[in-house]
Structure 1
Amino acid sequence: MIDTRFIVWDNQYLEDAIQLYIDVFTDEPWNDVLTYEEIKLYFDRLLAMNTFEGYLTLDATGAVIAASLGFIRPWFRGVQYHLDSFYIANAFQSKGIGGAFLDFVKADLAQKDIPNIALDTEIGYPSDFFYRKHGFSSNPDSVTMYGNTKLKK
């Protein structure tokens, strides 16, 4: 595997993590249209949460090549980690780094007595297969729904 180092979130890497987020999610297969301002605001909001938990992967030069962004939330069985974003630079995908990084995140959360991780992703995308390969499964009795706050008239 490529020489990497996994660390708990460090704000000194904020700008690099933002740029990597934009690079990854504006590329295939996501093809999102993103601006720096909206992604910076997303990061600012996550970092302002007192339950934020983040992790980074650095390459041999100290550059950010992967990030995990999430937060601890209440759950009827205690608490769980909501994995909001997990992304790896395209050039480093399919090299075993993502699995090793996810193992690092799991180990750190387990040490903090956080027994479960919840996430959502797009069905049929590479991320779907990645998470299933690493022990995640979907709940057949659950569905993720979205709605807006506009009232019906």
Structure 2
Amino acid sequence: MVRTFNKSDEKEAIQLYIDIFTREPWNDTLSFEQIELFFNRIQAMNTFLGFVLIESETNKLIGVSLGFVRPWYQGLQYHLDSLYIANQYQGQGLGKEMLTQIEHELKAKDISAIILDTEREQPAEFFYQNNGFVSLDESVLYAKSF
């Protein structure tokens, strides 16, 4: 079952984020406080939109999508910042199902596109390709740290 993210999901979603991204292939070093701050900041955006995937039998949170709605010359688009599924549920089609349900929710809100960025040659890149996302040749992602 996919439903809209709410504040009561936060702690469980943060722990799941840490459990996933501190393992292969990412191996990030993350603290609860650091990810809690990230969650608080993204939720503070007035266009924040998140979703959770709940296992129906146990009512356990097993997937999360965090993002925000932004204007685009062709209407509104959903900037998908993070989408993750619990390690033990990966490879079972649940990410695909979650993404499909999110797309239905977005269409109902008159949001016509999803945009995201991800690292090359990582499982996420192949997941998005397998779910109909295409790399935009005319776009490039830049970053500047200071």
Please classify the TM superposition score into its range, dividing by the shorter chain length.
over 0.9
Question: Gapped runs of 5+ residues in structure 1?
Answer: none
Task: Specify the alignment match of 2:127 in structure 1.
Answer: 130
Q: How does 1:67-146 map to 2 (within 5 A)?
A: 67-146=64-143
Paired position in structure 2 for 1:36: 32
**Distance in 2 of aligned mates of 1:38 and 1:77:** 35
Instruction: Give the AA of the match of 1:131.
Output: Y
2:76 maps to amino acid: V
Alpha-carbon distance between aligned partners in 2 of 1:44 and 1:129, rounded to the nearest angstrom:
29
Is the partner of 1:91 in helix, strand or coil? helix
Q: How many Å separate the matches in 1 of 2:133 and 2:142?
A: 20
What corresponds to 1:16 in structure 2?
Answer: 12
1:47 counterpart letter in structure 2: Q
Letter in 2 for 1:89: A
Larger radius of gyration: 1
Residue ranges of structure 2 left out of the alignment (5+ in a row): none
Q: SS in structure 2 opposite 1:116?
A: strand
TM-score between the two structures when normalised by the length of structure 1: 0.92
**Alpha-carbon RMSD:** 0.9
Distance 1:78 1:58 in 2: 30
**How far does residue 78 in structure 1 lie from its aligned partner after superposition?**
2.0
Q: How far apart, in 1, do the equivalents of 2:139 and 2:44 lie? A: 29
Counterpart CA distance in 2 for 1:32 and 1:62 is 28
Aligned length: 145
CA distance in 2 between partners of 1:15 and 1:36 (Å):
9
One-letter code aligned to 2:118: T
Following TM superposition, by how much is the alpha carbon of 1:76 offset from its aligned partner in structure 2, in angstroms?
Answer: 2.1
